[in-house]
Homo-oligomer: A and B are copies of this chain.
């Protein structure tokens, strides 16, 4: 079944709120996300910072210990106005370089979906004519948090959350651990484009039209979000410092190769040792995100 759904309310946390939409496994949801400050396609302010979320979506039959499967069918900016920030976050440069960073203000961008470009509205001279190709992604995707917690949409944990990974884009399929009945899926914080690490604290923030297809795997628990695109399997870890996020992601990928691809710890180690790739989601939020990925063709042999 296809659901076309505009949220009546937005949340700033991943938690156990009343279901706003109920879907069956296999259904598709076509919805919208607000920008990180709460404005929609018409620049109407409908919610507040940080990262208001569309959700929760109750998935019929989802129980703790299951996996929620979310395929991103499409993400498309639904207005022209985007914004970002003009300065690196203090935590991504050496402490003695912090005082020479510029004062924090917004940058504004014109997002042209037809030309598939983003351009600065008031570029500094050095960036005159800068034109970046769009690469829309979802900064926030996840489920109600573990153990009855209600966790801010400005951070991330085992339930997913604000991971700001460029790989959460059209064509990717994600799996999330289910911690609460119905799973309770949330989505938000779309970026027209974003560098690794979200090191200015923002991608080019914009409201989005989003289509997701939702499915369920019963009874095979996972600990961290997992994903798959045409080329790669990947596991995601969320923590500080990056070292620990990397430990979570690597351990989850190791488990995955063991459970689903018949690679014991030794075979998986040999393969990952020579072929793993790491991506950095964000190094800005309270929890950082690291992604460990491996080519599917190497494990699907």
A residues with CB within 8 A of B = 12-13, 15, 84-102, 107, 118, 120, 124, 126-127, 129-130, 132, 146-152, 193-200, 202-204, 239-244, 246-248, 250-251, 254, 262-267, 269-280, 283, 286, 288, 298, 301
Inter-chain contact A98/B100, CB cutoff 8 Å: no
Inter-chain contact A100/B239, CB cutoff 8 Å: no
A152: chain B residues within 8 A (beta carbon): 146-147, 149
Identify whether the interface residues of A are mostly helix, strand, loop, or mixed.
mixed
Complex partner residue of A241 from B204, B241, B264, B276, CB under 8 angstroms: B241
Complex partner residue of A274 from B91, B96, B195, B267, CB under 8 angstroms: B195
Contacts A197-B276, A276-B199 given: A127-B270 contact, CB under 8 Å? yes
Inter-chain contact B273/A199, CB cutoff 8 Å: yes
Q: Which 4 A-B pairs have the closest CB atoms?
A: A90-B95, A200-B273, A150-B150, A242-B242
Complex partner residue of A86 from B13, B127, B196, B270, CB under 8 angstroms: B270
- Give chain B nearest CB distance to A104 CB in angstroms: 9
Inter-chain contact A254/B93, CB cutoff 8 Å: yes
A250: chain B residues within 8 A (beta carbon): 88, 92-93, 199
